[in-house]
């Protein structure tokens, strides 16, 4: 059977009834630790919440006022994991987390478009794909993709998006001869019901259970970020679609502004400025140098970008962001021995929480008021280290 979410991918709310509610457990990872959550698996008469499948993550949403934490498929039925029991037979109002759903629709339809054109233009077949939280990856059956091919592919992809091309859904019986003509990587063993075909007019027809946009124009734009070496002579193509491109541009611009302020140069000169900084550090040879910086605005990613550009084998890097006398974030990076020794002391002075490994110690500071004391402590450590080397 097809769920209501597959018949109408744009339906945001739906009234249905509870078929069953049985005790269940959900295994999940929270802050790197595996936990088992006790709750209930709820079956509904029908659902607008998509169960994980076809490379697409599941939907989140509400059944009444009860949050749905996971949706999985069991044969022809969907199981909705909740922590509060629901009464069998009761009528319920289901609401989908639309921001998450539409994001998945954009990424999934984007993958179909990229896959079809990579095959048509260069003969590169898709062997798998992954819809990640921040970026998505398509595994292509080729050892490499040339930069010129990547550019050409991106241009054609976005030309098709501007072409306002319809995307439709067809339901075919499993013995329909038309099934043999569509692109597919096979059906799951427990598949039940008709075959669902996603048709991008004149471009692609693909067997798929996922949710999709109804027109390529709703993808807005696709950005191919680049490629990475895959497994067994394959190439991973990394892409963003739709709203993710806008968020990526906003974040990149914010990082660029922070780098301009820190390096005191224009964006076009950042590489040269960092190169000069690295060369200056190398001139210090075995001396341990302290590089310290504070900014009111920033996040962990910003601090790690800065630390990644500095040779921390010979430099102790102390970075902080947040309120000058209030809470914030900190990062201590450098030789692993120095970081292991100084990290807990920095943590104590900043009244914070954090942890470290592999030459990095970072965390949250409750108060930046004693930041100057931390700098003095680190300078003394660097001075002592250098005198020992000499």
- How far is 260 from 273, CA to CA, in rounded Å? 10
Dihedral sign computed on CA atoms, order 349, 352, 356, 362: negative
Q: What pLDDT shows up at residue 189?
A: 56
Distance CA 216, CA 200 (A): 8
Q: What is the pLDDT of residue 388?
A: 55
**What pLDDT does residue 281 have?**
63
Tell me, rounded to whole angstroms, the distance of Cα 286 from its chain centroid. 39
Residue ranges of the chain whose pLDDT lies below 50? 285, 390
CA 38 to chain centre: 27
Task: Identify the structural domains of the chain with CATH numbers, from first to last.
Answer: 4-96 (2.40.30.130), 102-241 (3.30.980.10), 286-388 (3.10.310.40)
| Whole-prediction pTM | 0.71
Q: Are 261 and 253 in contact (CB under 8 A)?
A: no
Phi and psi torsions of 54, nearest 5°: 65, 25
Residue 26: its H or E element: strand 13-30
| Residue 314: per-residue pLDDT | 77
The strand pairing partners of 23, in sequence order, are: 40
The answer to whether the CB of 316 falls within 8 A of the CB of 334 is yes
């Amino acid at each position: 059977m097809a769920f209501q979410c597959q018949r109408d991918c744009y339906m945001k709310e739906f009234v249905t009834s509870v078929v069953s509610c049985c005790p269940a457990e959900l295994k999940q990872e929270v802050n790197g630790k595996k936990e088992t959550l006790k709750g209930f698996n709820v079956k509904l008469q029908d659902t607008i919440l998509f169960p994980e499948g076809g490379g697409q993550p599941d939907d989140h949403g509400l059944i009444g006022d009860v949050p749905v934490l996971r949706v999985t498929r069991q044969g022809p039925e969907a199981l909705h994991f909740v922590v509060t029991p629901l009464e069998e037979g009761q009528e319920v109002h289901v609401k989908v987390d639309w921001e998450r759903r539409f994001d998945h629709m954009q990424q999934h339809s984007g993958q179909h478009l990229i896959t079809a054109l990579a095959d048509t233009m260069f003969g590169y077949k898709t062997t798998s794909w992954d819809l990640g939280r921040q970026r998505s990856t398509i595994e292509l059956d080729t050892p490499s993709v040339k930069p010129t091919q990547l550019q050409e592919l991106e241009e054609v992809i976005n030309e098709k998006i501007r072409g306002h091309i319809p995307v439709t859904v067809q339901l075919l019986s499993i013995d329909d001869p038309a099934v043999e003509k569509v692109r597919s990587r096979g059906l799951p063993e427990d598949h039940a019901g008709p075959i669902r075909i996603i048709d991008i007019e004149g471009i692609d027809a693909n067997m798929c259970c996922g949710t999709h946009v109804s027109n390529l124009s709703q993808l807005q734009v696709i950005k191919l970020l680049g490629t990475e070496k895959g497994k067994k002579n394959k190439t991973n193509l990394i892409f963003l679609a739709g709203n993710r491109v806008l968020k990526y541009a906003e974040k990149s611009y914010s990082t660029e502004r922070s780098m301009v302020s820190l390096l005191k140069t224009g964006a076009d000169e950042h590489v040269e400025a960092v190169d000069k900084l690295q060369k200056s550090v190398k001139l210090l040879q075995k001396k341990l140098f302290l590089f310290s910086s504070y900014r009111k605005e920033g996040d962990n990613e910003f601090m790690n970008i800065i630390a990644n550009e500095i040779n921390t084998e010979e430099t102790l890097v102390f970075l902080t962001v947040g309120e000058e006398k209030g809470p914030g974030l900190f990062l201590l990076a450098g030789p692993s021995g120095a970081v292991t020794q100084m990290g807990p002391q920095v943590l104590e002075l900043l009244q914070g929480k954090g942890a470290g490994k592999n030459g990095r110690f970072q965390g949250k500071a409750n108060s930046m008021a004693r930041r100057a004391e931390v700098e003095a402590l680190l300078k003394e450590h660097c001075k002592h280290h250098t005198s020992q080397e000499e």
